[in-house]
Amino acid sequence: MKTFFILGYCILRLCCNAQQLPPSVKMTPAKKIKLVPVKLIVPEQFKDKIHGVHVLNIPEGYSAQVFYAGRLDKPRFFAWGPDSVLYVANKNSGEIIALPDKNHDGVADTAIVAASGFHLSHDLAFYNGAMYVAEERRIMKCTDKNHDGIYETKEVFIDNIAAGARQPGGGHDTRTIVFDPAKKKMYLSIGSSCNVCRDQEYRAVIEEYNDEGTGRRPFATGIRNAVGMTLHNGRLWADNNGSDWQGDNVPPEWIDIVRDGGFYGHPFAYANGVYFDFHAHQ
């Protein structure tokens, strides 16, 4: 029996309405996956935080259990540390929370602040003995010298992300990082400064750095907001959050291999060459 871990103090049911896409949009053929309703398992220690019965539709053969509930304030990305502990970027509090499970029962024993004092901590990665935390404007390098799970030292690894952010009117403040040990590179995703507009070169882009923080260059452009990135078989994969206000399915969003030097359409076009209706975004 395989298990999904659900992180957080609440459960959301997401839905969207079917809408008609322009006929020229070519979508990946849909593949039906058999989903079955499964009751969420709530360990006894979390029942005061998660009330009632919750049912999730998940692939057959999986179960769903709460791993931790409680001291989280907009948790975003997480990573397994070298000590086999799950670390979570707690965005609103500016913390990295460690969730150890020492007895390996599938439930976090406690929540420990492993590092704090970050500005909108969205992602983290472990690389060459250090923990890297992605803030809105900086990447911080943190070290745990005595190996007690608390990262005592912090230094700026990369500064002035998105030309210092943030421009009037806001924009995406999430930053995602991926290290490629084989190539000794790091990739940084920076979302656009608006819903649909022509950004400067430092927004709506995935940047590449050497793994010591030098050599900044644009790796791929025209990506409105690649919140999720990962490395698989030596290739960088990413998703893309499309623009708002035209409906749940317009523009369609994608997950794909990101090619070096690739341009992915934002803000001019989406899918296989469908131009944006800029009037819809006024």
Shared-domain flag, residues 255 and 215: yes
Final residue in a domain of this structure, among 70, 88, 119: 70
Question: Which is it for strands 262-263 and 217-221: parallel, antiparallel or unpaired?
Answer: parallel
List all residues 6 or more positions away from 192 whose beta carbon is below 8 Å from its beta carbon.
Answer: 171, 172, 199, 203, 204, 224, 225, 266, 267
CB 192, CB 171: distance < 8 Å:
yes
> CATH no. for residue 258?
2.120.10.30
Q: Range of 50's domain?
A: 1-70
List all residues 6 or more positions away from 40 whose beta carbon is below 8 Å from its beta carbon.
Answer: 6, 11, 50, 53, 54, 55, 56, 64, 65, 66
CB 139, CB 125: distance < 8 Å:
no
Shared-domain flag, residues 162 and 54: no
Shared-domain flag, residues 23 and 108: no
The SS3 call for residue 4 is strand
pLDDT for the residue numbered 266: 92
Check residue 43 and report its DSSP letter. -
Shared-domain flag, residues 53 and 103: no
The total of other beta-carbon atoms located within 10 Å of residue 150's CB is: 15
Shared-domain flag, residues 64 and 3: yes
| Mean pLDDT per 10-residue segment, the chain (282 residues) | 47 39 66 90 94 93 94 94 95 96 94 96 97 97 94 96 67 95 97 87 94 97 95 96 83 92 92 77 54
Model confidence pLDDT, tens digit, residues 250-259: 888 899 999 9
The SS3 call for residue 281 is helix
Shared-domain flag, residues 50 and 177: no
pLDDT for the residue numbered 39: 96
Shared-domain flag, residues 119 and 257: yes
- Rounded to two decimals, the pTM is 0.88
Shared-domain flag, residues 52 and 166: no
**Structure-block tokens of residue 265:** 């359409």
Final residue in a domain of this structure, among 45, 70, 95: 70
CB 140, CB 127: distance < 8 Å:
no
Q: How many domains does the chain divide into?
A: 2
Tell me the C-alpha distance between 206 and 225, whole Å: 9
Shared-domain flag, residues 24 and 81: no
Shared-domain flag, residues 190 and 232: yes
pLDDT for the residue numbered 11: 31
Model confidence pLDDT, tens digit, residues 177-228: 999 999 999 999 999 998 888 888 889 999 999 999 999 999 999 999 999 9
Final residue in a domain of this structure, among 28, 54, 70: 70
**Structure-block tokens of residue 251:** 């523009």
Shared-domain flag, residues 26 and 144: no
pLDDT for the residue numbered 17: 39
Shared-domain flag, residues 47 and 157: no
Q: Which residue has the tokens 């035209």?
A: 246
Q: Which residue has the tokens 């290739």?
A: 235
CB 135, CB 95: distance < 8 Å:
no
